Structure 1
Amino acid sequence: MLTRLRPWRPLRLWLSLWLPYKPLIPISLFFTKPSVSALTIATAAEPAAGNHPSAGTYFDPIDPVREILSGLKGKDFFVNRCLLNLIPTLSSLQVDEIIDNLGGQHPESAIEFFYFLKNGYGFRHSRASQFVIAHLLARKGRPKELSSLLQQMLQEEGSNSAPSLSELLWNRFRAWDSNGLVWDMLAFAYSRAEMVHDALFVLARMKDLGMQASILTYNSLLYNLRHTDVMWDVYNEIKVTGIPQNEYTNSILIDGLCRQSLLQEAAALVQENEGKGYTPCVTSFNTLMSGFCKMGYVGVAKSLFCVMFKCGLLPDAYSYNILIHGLCVAGYMEEALEFTEDMEKHGVEPNLVTYNILAKGFCLLGMVSGAWKIIHHMLLKGLNPHTVMHTILICGHCRTGNLEAALKLREEMLSQGFQLNDISYNLLLSSLCKSGSVTKALSLLHEMESTGLKPDLVTYSILIHGLCKQGDVQKAIQLYNKMFLRRIFPNLFTHSAILLGLSRKGSLSEARTFFDDLTKSDLMNGVILYNIMIYGYAKLGKIEEAVQLFEQIIERGIVPSIVTFNSLIYGFFKRRKLVDAKTWLDAIKKHGLEPTAVTFTTLMNALCEEGNIYGMFEILSEMEAQAVEPTNVTYTVIIKGLCRKQRLQESLQILEIMYARGISPDEITFNTLIHCSCKNHDMTKAFKLHNEMLLHNLQPTPVTYNVLINGLCLHGDLKEADRLFSSLQDQNIILTKVAYTTLIKAHCAKGDVFKAGVLFCQMVEKGYEISITDYSAVINRLCKKNLTANAKVFLQMMLSNGISPDQEICDVMLDAFGRVGDLNSQFELLAEMFKCGLLPD
């Protein structure tokens, strides 16, 4: 069955594709390879003054090889200072000669001398010497040392060294009795070093020379190739050679099939092996279960878990953890807990990994209390939750928006001597920035650095984005510069945040300078940053600059996106150039793009502003003809256009169309309709729409209530407006300053100065910023009603709050005091005017 899954291609075919043939280096070159210079060794090992050899122990310096060999064979070399003094005089060829000579009769001395030079003097042995020692280690049955030697050798040689090393092995060492094992270990070493091409070359050469690789080597290769089709070529090679497979062979194959999402073939392989009398191992089942869980087939994984018992296999902790993790990801927490209990019943103790999986599962579902129960259970068992568990809990609190609990957990960790890791800090920083607490986030950055943790790209990007969103772009730029000083290079996300921040702040000239710097330094190779600048220009109506940037995009060979064109269309709409905007709509298709709902909605909004209802519906028809689905924003634009023409009934029909098409209106949609109803004096309809919002789980915004309160005030139902206002206050619903000023003006107009004063004081207590305009609106209305004394009270309140009157207020008040003959108040006001540099008319 397996050979039918993939056609077998001999390994040599793959080598011809992967490893181009290189001419082999002549053997003579291997023996003249330079080593550490004799001068270097001489400097390191020069004998101290007075330690010269005596006349009785004088050696002929012309032939140091003979003397060293004699000393090594006599076992007195490593204690004979005179012999050691000869080492600096040795060349690489002489070292090869000594090791080669010792290899035949004194292998242990050869090995000792080899490592003595390597470790004691840092001597770099030739390939030939290294292979001599490799064969000696193989002969003496020391596989670990052999493997270590070859791995170090390959680190020096690097990839694509297999052809030359193979040639040396064959030409020089084929007569050695341990040659086959060295070949096999060389292939294994290449595989372990992930030099797969070289490993395949050695295997192919072995096959040509009639040598057999071990299953250990084949398994290592299978493991490295398990994510590719070549895995099957290696496996078929194993079958052809008839090498006995072991349990790891099948486990690797199953893992490879699972990684390639071939789960059915993996399951079939298990069945086939069972049919051949091979008992599946726990590792094979674990691999299969993991594969099915990753693909979302937790039910199949559970079935395999049961099959394990039928096969007489006992699942281990890893088996349970795989299944528990799969159940947690799927959201089946109760079943995951049941398997944890079953784990203990079968004598398998849940470990920290098990509890981490369960805690993470609860957090993913937003059930942080469940994660706390897991920690409590761990403590009862005597297990100590470590940083990973706390990180999971912090992540859970941040996900559910419970930032206060996440920060409290951080304090508890620090008080118990736990150190937060960079992931925990980044999660907390992100949550603080999202909540607008960027100042706290910056103090947390200092805490992070004080614990020895180094902020990374993610950390800086989070803070820069948060600062820019808050409008503190200068501080964001300081952090940006700090990144460069620490050799952390910003990415597209960081650049975008700063460019957006500068654009939103209105500092388009600064944004352009930053943008041009990025362009000059080749830090920009995509369209995203261009889109930010183009939209910034379009928003201000600077369409010439936006078009110039578009032309730069084309010149640089950057492909514009639909966002680019949408921004340009919006820019032309801002300049009321609708004909040009439609021209850009045609240009979209020329660049191989398709208009989106945003494209058409932008044009429709432009026509809406022009009051061109017919043109707006014409664009809607074109949009539907091109199979572009209108969004809730599209329909809200249509509703806005109709409401401006006081066509409320038609607007309500559009709302019904939205419901029929499964498109949910948002708060802006309802606010537009409520505002139109108020203008049409239909407050009943306005409140009916308000209630409809609540039925659709939409929370009315402060704008909604401003519109309703204003509508009630305009149509003379001030008591109902007061009742609505009081009801909203009782429900702790946040109201804006507009709601207060609307009611204050209405009560002033009705002559209810006391109520206006109470509302004004409430507005001050709420912390709203009170401007001269607010005082002016009240004082003017009171003066018109000849309520001069009350107007004077507001004037005094204004002065006590440090707000100086302007010319308009002074003129109105002087006129009012004059009408009632209040000369003292006139003189007092005139004095105040002179202080402020104002002159009476």
Structure 2
Amino acid sequence: MAVKLLPSVFPKKARHCVNLLARLSSVPCAVDFGILQETHQGSSSSSGYESNVKSLRNNLVPDNLIWVLRSTPDIETSVRIFRWAALQKIFQHTAGTYCVMALKLGLAGNVREMEVLCQNMIKDECPGAEDVLVSLVETFVEHRRVNVAIRVLVSMIAGNFRPSILLFNAILGSLVAEKGDLKDVLFVYKEMVKACRVPTVDTLNYLLEALFEAGWVDSALDQYRRMNKKGCHPNSRTFEVVIGNLIMMDCANEAVPILKDMLELGVQMDSRFYTLVVPHFCKENNLAEGMRLFESMKAAKFVPDITIYATLIHHLCSKFLVVEANRLLQEMINNGVMPSDDILEDMVIGLCRLGKISQAIDLLEDKKVLATSPHNALISGCCNAGEFFLAKQLLEKIMCESAIADCGSWNILVRWLSQHCNLKQALQVLGNMIVTSLVPDSSTVSALVIGYCKLGKYDDATKLFDRFYANFFVLDSLSYSELIRGLCEVGKYSKATEIFCCMSMRKHSLESSSFNMLIKGVFDEGGIHEAKEILSLAADCGVHYNDETYSVLLNCLSETPKYQLVLLAQIVINGFDISSDAYAILIRGIFHTSVRVNEAALLFNLMVAERAIPESECLLDLLSLFACRSQLHMISSSIDMLLYDLVLNSDMYSLLINGLWKEGYVCKARELLDLMLERGWIPDASTHGLFIGPTSIQETDCRNFQIDNSIVQDNISSILAEGLERI
């Protein structure tokens, strides 16, 4: 008798791997997987077990046992019946009975027991065992029990069966679809090698997909390059996996040579691939490859959709390639794809940037555009080109002809006038807007605030803010920063703080430079406690700290070194590099409040090692601090690095020579003098005095470096004489 599997068990998407009916035609009993009852794990029913055994006792044949096992709902009763049958002398389990029991165990999650059952079936050399094992693998894969399917596969290979490559591909495909662990994919691949099966292109595609999913980009690219050595040639799915994943992982540059391979091989991709990849290449600033793919797409007789056209036109316009963008615009219209408002807006912006305002006007008139955004782009383009009166005429025209102008259309004029210190005319335009029954919005208020700030009328700007803030209006980032900056410049930190608190309560962030001015003023006027409240609000609303911010904070905390160290830790934790200004502030703070000069030396050495060298005046000041404490020798290695980088000027040389001499490092001081003179700089009077004084020649112990006194005397005398002559 043959095992017959209902076609409904395997959907069409899984049936392409194998022909189950043909494979199982030789198995000696009938098993219908499709009508297996749902398996329950729980306490076994003694009455159910007894009644089933009683029905089988005088009629124990494989078909009857299969029917009983299939109709028994709980797993423990099924196992007891299966074991009872195995103990009967007149009965021997077949591949069919093993199959039903293994299937129930596997679906119930009893993987170990199922695996033992498969091994016993192989050991018993049941006819049709291989076909049954294959059907089990496929059924478990279909029911998303891939881990169970893998254990069946392992049992097959251990039993010297050689599953087909299609079976391996079915498991790999399921693992990849379910985002399984890479280790499981690699395990199945190794089992395939163990079974002496050669991978197909589908096998390698699954492997590539798993490697990319795990983030192993280099390994995936290596596998791609080795495909030919494995007798496989990339197909459309290969390129979809490799190029698609590289694009999604922001590795567009690595995708370019793969794309070249695809085009050279003439592999035909589907339209979905182009829709995914073309926009990403453009966004990665690789417009050339995007256009290349676009031409390949058209050569394959695919009609690009509006997404591709919109992306290409946008990036062409942003690169001032308006002629090419206009060609695509006409092409898409000819293909029956109507341009969206965004596309027309990009075209207008591109034309206006090139000064082709008349062409932009013609474009909107020819296309009979009634949308607001392209017209607003045209008005904005006119203003940016200094054509305010033309912009005003265009606004009046569209108001008369189509009434499509909105508040944003008027705001463009108001903002441009405000930014150019023409607040009076801006207010007139605002009056005209109100006459048309349009109500000012947050953008209108923001524009007027900028106008007041440009004229230094900060009181009027704050009154306007207070008036409209009560109506839940908020300023945009530019006007907000401009207002805070202006208030800080005139010393009105209290009002600036009040506005900052209001905006922060509504989660609006402040631009870094304005925040730096605010926090410095708050520190100076209110001290650390008020500043702490500002910092807390800044953290809540997402103010971005930069190097200058941390320098300001460190400087404000100069009287409290312990807070400086806490802030320093925060700088490091947040991934910021410590700037030269920050180093300088920390070093000065240590010298000002502490006798632990070694900490200052540690910071100075770290500053130089990281090449965070401050400007000359600041560096001279830091070196002076060490010289005053007679601690220049503690930064000797950093001094050598500064000498090598040619950072030191004549004042620094003189300072170092004097300081090191006084600290007893006479040899080092003389070396610096030689270097200074080689650069053509003349030592100052104090440095002269060191070397021509009565004791200078006698100090010949340069830390185990012996110098002939007469030679030194002659060299120094001649050098100083030459220098004095220049004076």
TM-score (norm 2): 0.50
> Scaled by the length of structure 1, what TM-score is found?
0.44
